[in-house]
Structure 1
């Protein structure tokens, strides 16, 4: 599930493979870009912005992509067999003499002027992994609508950019409140701690191949290590109806909207205070990925 850490990793891979090199292959497989040809141009850099990727190319051009739920960029060495999905799912190919970047299932792909990037990302709040990060602005954005459920506010990229459904559930657990708590009801000390904690979660995971939120909490790590087992990667996300790592209560899961669709949301009814859905709204757990 691509979130800010995953997009940061994708940008780093793309930048390493493409930046400073001339494109010898360009194939953008969406109708409005079918005639666009970037061959002969040098890729300047690849920059993440929240969950967005900006591939900047000489000539004041930016290829803007967004992974959403299923998209991915794969990088292959020259002559390496591509593996990322069937050919009909390929939406973009950018290649130089040494590497080829292939974009699979990209729901958003557009070519715009670099000077017009704000059209694509100007609405975003401070980026948790970006140079524009400002915890004060992020918190003020979250508190603008004090009656909005915290989980929904965290997923709104206009407030702060980079949190997805996994980090939403994990962050609410670490704050000790349910995702349905109105953000304005968050205790003042926890509200002040929220931006720092969110940033730390993403920073801790931007260099990891597998997302983990439990490794920095020694109490949980010791408990699992004593049983001869590695600590679970996540506290609550994807763990219903297994026991909470802290109190043993069964983790629950229910849908919560994010302004566009319902998302499975996980919480511990004992460790997290605040409102939660009625049992009739609760849903069964389903398989997930956390990468």
Structure 2
């Protein structure tokens, strides 16, 4: 599932291609809205809300989409070949005289009145990259269920919106806790710092094509010698680094599963329960 910064970047690309332009083609390939036609309507703007995308049209209509695990929006210039996937995976087409936006494998696609957007996104907690961000509310939401595993609480978009599995994993590492540690066992100051760090990480990566969470890291092996990464750069502390040396202490990273998603942790740097 994409992170909030990825969804924000998708919204920006869609906005640049569609906003202020009148649609010359509209095709929603989901049974419920197959007969809906937005042709002739101008696109007002495209915004993200957590991991949700809201494309607003004149006349008070909004197209709500969510990428989840496999969905994607691709932008093509007129005449450019579409390469986002086979035709049967297309769920939406929005075109103007210059660009065509094609939605592939979108698991959530619905047309609603703009005034009813809250029915689709009103359940979300404060958006880490949105104007509604409120750190105290996010912290209070996270601590509502002290027995809940830290990783699960961070991924629950009702607590705070925008964290995906990568940021969840990296934040647990930075908090020196495993994803399975009950969040109530974190000191309150650590939990508050975790919320602040989440905001800082997403803000730092909102404009980057490549996500980086290890800024300022000084890799070392377990013996204290400099660690030479297999790649030119090591952008993430632990995510996707199973059996590779921890960038902080050199201990091999472990991998497991939490809620059917991959989880990674350093057995030396992070304390708490493990699978």
> Normalization by structure 2: what TM-score?
0.95
Any residues of structure 2 matched to 1:190-269 within 5 Å, and which?
190-214=190-214, 216-220=215-219, 223=226, 230-257=232-259, 262-269=260-267
1:172 equivalent to 2:179? Answer no
Aligned to 1:288: none
Q: What RMSD over aligned residues (CA atoms) do the two structures have, in Å?
A: 1.6
Deviation at 1:229, TM superposition (A): 6.3
8 Å CA contact 2:77, 2:98 repeated in 1: yes
Residue 276 of structure 1 deviates from its aligned partner by: 1.2
TM-superposed deviation, 1:218: 3.8
Provide the residue aligned with 2:223 in structure 1.
Answer: none
Q: Give the equivalent residue in structure 2 for 1:94.
A: 94
Compute the TM-score of the two structures, normalised by the length of structure 1. 0.90
Q: Describe the SS at the equivalent of 1:85.
A: coil
Q: CA deviation at 1:213?
A: 1.1
| Equivalent position of 2:181 in the other structure | 181
Query: In the TM superposition, what is the alpha-carbon distance from 1:190 to its structure 2 partner?
Result: 1.2
Q: Which residues in structure 2 correspond to 1:1-291 (within 5 Å)?
A: 1-214=1-214, 216-220=215-219, 223=226, 230-257=232-259, 262-277=260-275
**Structure 1 unaligned blocks of 5 or more:** 278-291
Unpaired stretches in structure 2, ≥5 consecutive residues: 221-225
Cα distance in 2 for partners of 1:118, 1:227 equals 46
Query: Aligned partners of 1:43 and 1:74: how far apart in 2?
Result: 17
- Deviation at 1:242? 1.1
SS at match of 1:219: coil
Q: Which residue of 2 aligns with 1:280?
A: none
**In the TM superposition, what is the alpha-carbon distance from 1:189 to its structure 2 partner?**
2.2
Which 4+ runs in 1 deviate beyond 4 A? 226-229
**C-alpha displacement at 1:231, in angstroms?**
2.8
1:209 CA displacement: 1.3
